[in-house]
Amino acid sequence: DIQLTQSPSSLSASVGDRVTITCRSSQAISTYLSWYQQKPGKAPKLLISSASGLQSGAPSRFSASGSGTHFTLTIASLQPEDLATYSCQQNYNRPRTFGQGTKVEIK
């Protein structure tokens, strides 16, 4: 199975800060990577697909990039409503696998 490793596991940042989360894959997965946002007590929400495709309705302060084994999710200006856990997921091959998640807290 493909292993996805996210860093950091958690972070605390101030409103307005630029935040970057990294996801590394144990093997090359082209751009078959998605990012999900999961707010406390809620189901995950698809933010990004195909490594960089922002989903309809997602705020434009979210962006993502990468291919192969190294991917990043960036929040350009952190907002209070961005308090959540962010997880990457590969759909290069089955079984689909997820990173362990990055918990974003607001200072």
Partner 1 sequence: QVQLVQSGAAVRPPGASVKVSCMASGYTFRNYVIAWVRQAPGQGLEWMGSISPYNDNKYFAQKFQGRLTLTTDTSTSTVYMELTSLRSDDTALYLCARDVDTDVSDYWGQGTLVTVSA
Residues that bind partner 1 (CB under 8 A): 34, 36, 43-46, 49, 55, 87, 89, 91, 94-101
- Closest listed residue to residue 40, CA positions, set 82, 92, 99, 89: 82
Phi/psi for 31 (5° steps) reads -115, 30
Between 32 and 82, name the residue whose CB sits nearer to partner 1. 32
Burial (CB count <10 Å: 0-12, 13-18, 19+), residue 46: middle
Measured from the CB atom, is 14 or 94 closer to partner 1? 94
Query: Nearest distance from residue 85's CB to partner 1, in Å?
Result: 9
Handedness of CA 30, 74, 11, 46 (dihedral sign): negative
> How far is Cα 33 from Cα 69, in angstroms, rounded to an integer?
10
Considering the complex, state which of residue 10 and residue 77 has its C-beta at the smaller distance from partner 1. Answer: 10
Cβ of residue 15: shortest distance to partner 1, in angstroms?
26
Residue 43 or 81 having the CB closest to partner 1: 43
Minimum CB–partner distance for residue 1 and partner 1 (Å) = 9
CB of 21 to partner 1, least distance (A): 14
- Report yes or no: 65 and 5 within 8 Å, Cβ to Cβ: no
